[in-house]
Amino acid sequence: MKVVGVNGSHRRDGNSGMMLERALEVCEAAGFEVEEIDLADKSIGYCTDCGFCAKRYGCSQEDDVKAILDALASADGIIIASPTYFGGVSGRLRALFDRTLPLRRNGMMLSGKVGAALAVGGSRNGGQEYVIQQVHHWMLIHEMTVVGDRKTAHFGGICVARNQGDALKDEAGMATVVNAADNLAGRLKAVM
C-alpha cells in the first residue's frame, strides 16, 4: 500500500515540508511505500473549466498536474500539508485542488482513500484549523475517508512556527502530526 504526501508550501524546505516528512516517516515505519510531492517546484495553472476532463481523464493544460493526479490516484492514503495564509491554504495548493476535477469526473478516483491534513501557522490560534477544514472539504468532495489525530483530539496535525525549523521545536504540535499519520496508517492496515 502507498501513502502520498503533498507539500502545499511555496518552499520545499519550510515547516510544512518538515511536518510532512515526519508524517511520511511514521507511515514508512508502519510498512507503507511513501511518495512526497513538493508543489514548490511544480508548474500548476488555474482550472479554466474548459470541459476537457468531462470527456476523458486528463487536462488540456500542459503542466505538472497530470503527474500529480496520477500519483494521487495510485495512492491508498493521502496526507496534505499546508502553511496558513490569511486563514486558508496556500494559493498553490488551492490551484491544485481545483485541478483535481478530472479525478472526480472520471470515476471518483479518490473515493475510499484515507486522508489526513497538516497545517502550520505563526501562532497557536493562527488559522490552522481553517486550513485543515479546507483540506477536509476537498477530501470529502472526493468521497475520501478523513482521519484526525485521534489520541490528542484534534482535526489533524497542527504546528506553530514563525521561522524555518520552528515546527520541529513545537513538541505538542509534532505529537499531533505523528498521531495523525499513525491514525491514517492504522486505518489503512485495517482494510489490508
- pLDDT tier, 51 (very low <50, low <70, confident <90, very high otherwise): very high
Q: What is the pLDDT of residue 166?
A: 96
In this model, does residue 192 exceed pLDDT 80?
Answer: no
How many helices (H) and strands (E) would you count in the chain?
A: 8, 6
Note the pLDDT of residue 12: 86
Cβ–Cβ < 8 Å for 60, 52: yes
Q: What pLDDT is attached to residue 152? A: 79
The pLDDT tens digits of the residues spanning 69-120 come to 999 999 999 999 999 999 999 999 999 999 999 999 999 999 999 999 999 9
Per-residue pLDDT band for 191 (boundaries 50, 70, 90) equals confident
Please give the C-alpha separations between residue 107 and each of 62, 101, 102, 127, 149, in angstroms, as whole numbers. Answer: 22, 11, 9, 33, 29
Domains contained in the chain, number: 1
Note the pLDDT of residue 124.
Answer: 85
At 57-77, the pLDDT tens digits run: 999 999 999 999 999 999 999
Give 141-187 pLDDT, tens digit per residue: 999 999 999 887 789 999 999 999 999 999 999 999 999 999 999 99
Would you state the cell numbers that stand for residue 21, as one nine-digit string? 516528512
Domain that holds residue 111: 2-190
Closest CA to 85 of 18, 172, 11: 11
pTM of the model: 0.97
pLDDT at 104: 97
- Residue 120's nearest CA partner among 81, 169, 159, 152 is 159
CATH number of the CATH domain containing 80: 3.40.50.360
**Distance from the Cα of residue 114 to its chain's centroid:** 11
What is the distance between the alpha carbons of residues 133 and 32, in angstroms, rounded to a whole number?
Answer: 26
Residue with cell 490516484: 73
Across the chain, mean pLDDT equals: 96
**Any idea which of 77-81, 124-128, 131-135 has the lowest mean pLDDT?**
124-128
